[in-house]
Amino acid sequence: MTQNIYDDDQFFKGYSQLPRSIHGLAGAPEWASLRALIPDIKQQNILDLGCGFGWFCRWAAENGAEHVLGIDVSERMLARAREMTRDGRIAYIRADLESLTLQTGRYDLVYSSLVFHYLENLQLLMGEIYRSLLPGGAFVFSVEHPLTTAPIRPQWQVDGGRRVAWPVDSYQVEGPRSTNWLTDGVIKQHRTLETYVNLLIDTGFRLAHLQAWLPTEEQLREHPDWEDEKHRPTFLLVSARR
Ligand SMILES: C[S@@+](CC[C@H](N)C(=O)[O-])C[C@H]1O[C@@H](n2cnc3c(N)ncnc32)[C@H](O)[C@@H]1O
């Protein structure tokens, strides 16, 4: 059963104050790179897994998608998504991705941003996603990078008040990590890069692009506050095709 931490009072308050929650896609440092992996979405049927506040759903509709379905397990995230959405092409439903069944051959694009590292069982979902895509359909997603999720006690190494390194341990030990992010005891699942890639290959997907996201020099000039993120890849971005 999922932890559904996004419905926790303290976590939700903290998450609501993050730049990506206030400014949407423009406040997500990896969005430009993820955006580059998304094919033309005009007249397309799109599924957003773990849609959160629905920023991507609204972006997709504004950019010509025919229909967008956003799925999330958090009532609070979905309530905020519904409040911010006035578009008949977008629908939201509440469901747990750990036990989701999807319609066969329905979607041109399945998208998911920063959700899969919360899931214990990704194999079942991968199969559902593959089955729900039309032949040639695209699957684009991001997760916290395996080098970021690996440490048993995730903690920056600090020197002179500055974050200087992200020590990595237990890389091969897959499974839950308890982190204190926004509130104590947030459970994320660590997987190696091979596990992500082999899950895709074994499901039948064709890999199109992999990217370890770190801020570019240009982004750092514009956002000096992202300096810490240059020490290790924060996100893994993946594009695959059915
Ligand atoms: C980091 S937020 C990302 C939200 C959105 N995709 C974005 O990028 O703005 C993670 C989202 O995944 C959802 N989530 C986590 N575990 C889930 C599960 N088992 N089933 C459905 N949604 C889940 C959370 O409720 C939350 O809205």
User: Over 80: is that where the pLDDT of 1 sits?
Assistant: no
Query: Using CA atoms, how far apart are residues 146 and 101, in angstroms rounded to an integer?
Result: 27
pLDDT in tens, 8-60: 999 999 999 999 999 999 999 999 999 999 999 999 999 999 999 999 999 99
Print the SS3 string covering the chain: CCCCHHHCHHHHHHHHCCHHHHCHHHHCCCHHHHHCCCCCCCCCEEEEECCCCCHHHHHHHHCCCCEEEEEECCHHHHHHHHHHCCCCCEEEEECCHHHCCCCCCCEEEEEEECCHHHCCCCHHHHHHHHHHEEEEEEEEEEEECHHHHCCCCCCCEEECCEEEECCCCCCCCCEEEEEEECEEEEEEEECCHHHHHHHHHHHCCEEEEEEEECCCHHHHHHCHHHHHHHHCCCEEEEEEEC
Contacting residues for 17 by C-beta, under 8 A, at least 6 apart:
none
Q: Residue 226: what pLDDT?
A: 85
Threshold 0.95, pTM exceeds: yes
Which of 3, 5, 6 for mutating ligand 1's site (highest number of atoms within 8 Å of CB)? Answer: 6
pLDDT in tens, 152-163: 998 899 999 888
pLDDT in tens, 172-188: 999 999 999 999 999 99
Torsion sign over Cα 15, 18, 23, 29: negative
Chain centroid to Cα 210, Å, comes to 14
Ligand 1 first shell, C-beta below 6 A? 2, 6, 20, 50-52, 55, 72-74, 77, 96-98, 113-115, 118-119
Which of 82, 94, 118, 188 for mutating ligand 1's site (highest number of atoms within 8 Å of CB)? Answer: 118
